[in-house]
Every structure is written in C-alpha cells, then in structure tokens.
Amino acid sequence: MASAKENYEVTSPQEDSDAVLSPVVEPEPIPGIDGVPVRWYDADRTESYTRITPFQERHDTSVEFFYKPITLTALSVGLIILAYVATTQDVLEEGRDKRRIGVYAAISSFLVFSMLQFRDGPFIRPHPAFWRVVLGINLLYELALVFLLFQDLGSARTMMTYIDPALGVPLPEKSYAEDCTLTPRTIWNALDIFCVAHALGWFGKAMILRDYWFCWILSIMFELAEYSLQHQLPNFAECWWDHWILDVLLCNWIGTYLGMKTCQYFEVKPYEWRGLRQHRGIRSKARRVLSQFSPHDFTAFKWGTATDFLHYSTVVLLLAVFLAAELNPFYLKSLLWLEPDHPIIILRLAFIFLCALPAVRELFQYINDPRKAVRMGQHVWLLLATVITEFLVIAKWSKGQFSEPFPTAVKWGWSFGFMLLVLYPTVQFGVPSIRRYVRKHKRGLEVKAT
C-alpha cells in the first residue's frame, strides 16, 4: 500500500510532479548526414508530396541535371526576360498591342510555374515537366471556361474576335445528306480531310482507352448521337452509308485497329533503360535520345466491367465523359461561329488527347489499386471538371438557339438505353447480393433456433 501510495503521489495530476520527474533531454541534431556536412547543391529536395505514390520511377542518372530542381535559377531567368521584354523599347514598340503581349506573358509565367511546382503524374517520358505543363494548360482552359460560364453568348462571340478578328461572323449551316445515292461519285465526293481526321482521332482514342470493345461502343454511340442531334446541328445529318460505312467500318475501324496494334507492340516490347553514358557510338546514343520520347513502360488496361458495381459504374462514367468530350466541340463551334478546321478547334482536340492520356491511366490506377492510389489523380480530376464545365457553358448558351424539340423517337430511344444501363447492374450485381443476404439471414435464424 505504501508503494502504491508513493506511485500515486508521483503520477497524480494534483501534485506538482515536475519536481519529482526528471525532464527528458532530447539530443541535439547532428548537422549533415552522419556528421558529414551536405553541400547545398547536393541536397535532395524532393518532397514526398510532389509525387503520387504508385508512379515513383528511377530516372537516367547520366542526365542528372535535367532532373534537379532549378526553381531559383528559373525564377531569376524568367524575371530577367520579363523585365527586358517589358521595359526595352526595341522589343515592345509604342503602338503595338500590349494587351495581347501581356496575356501571352501571363500565360507563359503560369506554365513555367506549372512546370516547376506541380506534382508529377503517371508519365515520365519525355520528361515529367512536360506533363506538368499539360496539366497547366488544362487548368488555364478550365479557368477560361469558368469565366465564359458567366458571360452571355453575344459577349463570348465578341471576345472571340480578340483572338481572331475574322471571327464573329455567322456561318452557313451545312448538311451532308443532300445526295445519298450509293454511287462511286458520291462516295468519292464524301472522302475529304475529315476522313483522315476521323482515323487519327480513333487512333488516339485506342491509345487512351486500350480496349477494343470500348472503342467500338463509343464509335457506334457517337453515330447514334449524330442521329439524335441532327435536328439541332445540321452538319450531323449524313447519309446512312456515310455513318456506317465511311465512318464506323472504314475510318474509325482503321484508326482503332492501328491504335490497338500500337498498344500491343508497346505491351510486349522489352523495356531496358540504360543511361546515355552506357551507350557506345553516335548511332546508339541517337537511338537512346529518340527512345526518350517513347513510353517508359506500358500498362494493359483490364477494366473488369462485370466484376463489381464499382468497375461497371466507372466504365459507364468513362464512356459518358468521352462521348461528351466528343460532342462538346461541335456545339461550341456552332455557338461561337467557328469553322471546323479553325486552329482553336484543332488545338482543343489535341489538348484533350494529351490530357486524357495520363487522366485515364490515373483513373485505372485509382480503381484497380486503391491501396497505393489513395486519391483520384490530378489529371483525371481536372479533365472531368473541364468536360463538365464545357457542358454547362453549352447548356447556358443553347437557350433560345435550338428551338426545335427533341423528336419522340429520340426520347424513346435514349430512355430505353438508360433503362438497359440500370437493368444490367441490377441483374448482375443487385440480385446476387440480395440472394447472399437472404441466405446469410436464414443461416443466422437457424443458428438462433438451435
């Protein structure tokens, strides 16, 4: 009892225990690593939060300079360039459009910041900084869409003339269903540069999705969407053979086939990354430099659509976002009076392709490896926000522009498709889950009864 009382007196919060307990003295940290001082240019300043856990890769140590953080050097050089261009009269003459140059300088400064400070994504070839810039471009585009979301259509058309003075003029509506006779002449007249664009586009989609079935589903769904929306966009009106022969069976299939063959090549290709110094001869070194622009490795996507409800809903969301990303530029060019081959439209399509490459990889990693990818990647998050914001802009500007109502057949068709999307997971996942729950409940009752 006495010892217990002594212990109580020592540890009791009501007593002044500081006089009894000796303070814990922490040893002073030893400077450097094991007592050896570290020079500032040898310090490893790679913070853990700058890299997503599953995508840590080793880089080529023979070109170590290109992977070292040079943020202060880049800041100094960037400010010197800005000061020289902004204050030197022989560069920025009086009377020139300073607003345009100022916008370019602001965009360039933001992209430099993106290149230096954004987190790395899943891709490291040709360099992680390149994909940081891609993410920065996506963010700039999203901010521009948010700004346009609060503008009316007339103001947006006027703003487009600041980019290209030739814009702001209504465009004539063009229909491709004027002569639908299936003859060699009509087919030859339908072959144009857009057929090549179709094939290139589906080559890119195959490289992004890496799944034959997904590409075929999207190809057919897009043609059905053209049938459904041709009352709003006359250029969606095409001949039946243009829809199903030229587009689906020819252009889309060729692009998908070549894209999937490329994926299969990268999938079985042996990847052995040796440093530049380990290569002998100019030809060998040149091949190593060119290989820097090929993938570091390649992951075959096995989405597992029928495994569980999470994978199914992810695939449905992925295909829906892809379809929306395909339809959005057609509405934007119609509302903003842009030609189909205008550089803004082409740049938007190329930008979406670059953004979708790491985004879909991040989504696949997030769904199939949740222990490592504990949160959704930045590329997929921002691209999803971009596509949805585009849709909101189109929905706002479309009020009063498309007065013709949806045909009844279109409403019934999409309602039937939506019903199938709900019915399949109900039968595939819901009914078996209910059966398992009922069997488990019965066993529990039987155990209690015994």
The 10 Å Cβ neighbour count of residue 394 is 19
For 81-147, where are the E strands, in sequence order? none
Tell me the one-letter amino acid at 307.
T
pLDDT of 75 reads 83
User: How would residue 415 be classed by pLDDT, with cut points 50, 70 and 90?
Assistant: very high
CA dist 179 and 175 (Å) reads 10
Q: What are the tens digits of pLDDT across the range 176-189?
A: 777 788 888 888 87
Q: Are 362 and 379 in contact (CB under 8 A)?
A: yes
Residue with tokens 């400010």: 79
Q: Token match 């030229």: residue?
A: 246
Beta-bridge mates of residue 33: 36
Question: Is residue 397 within a helix (H) or strand (E), and if so which, with residue range?
Answer: helix 378-397
pLDDT digits (tens, 9 = 90+) for 124-174: 878 888 999 999 999 999 999 999 999 999 999 999 998 888 888 888 877
Q: Check residue 125 and give its pLDDT.
A: 79
Q: What is the pLDDT of residue 88?
A: 72
The Cα 167–Cα 170 span in angstroms is 9
CA 55 → CA 121, 135, 256, 367, 379, distances in Å? 7, 16, 28, 15, 13
| Short-list 256, 192, 187, 190, CA closest to 219 | 256
Give per-residue pLDDT as tens, 23-62: 555 565 555 555 565 554 454 444 444 443 333 444 554 4
Residue 17 has pLDDT above 70, yes or no: no
214-258 pLDDT, tens digit each:
999 999 999 999 999 998 998 888 888 888 988 899 999 999 999
pLDDT at 155: 93
**Residue bearing the bigger pLDDT, 374 or 407:** 407
Mean pLDDT of the chain: 80
pLDDT at residue 275 in the model: 60
What is the percent of the chain where pLDDT is above 70?
Answer: 78
Q: Which residues of 232-250 are buried (b: 16+ CB within 10 A; e: fewer)?
A: bbebbbbbebbbeebbbee
pLDDT tens, position by position, 194-207: 888 889 999 999 99
- Predicted confidence band at 374 (pLDDT cuts at 50, 70, 90)? confident
Joined together, the tokens standing for residue 163 give 């980019």
Q: What is the pLDDT of residues 281-328, one digit of tens each?
A: 677 767 766 777 777 778 888 888 888 888 899 999 999 999 999 999
Can you tell me the mean pLDDT for 347-353?
Answer: 92
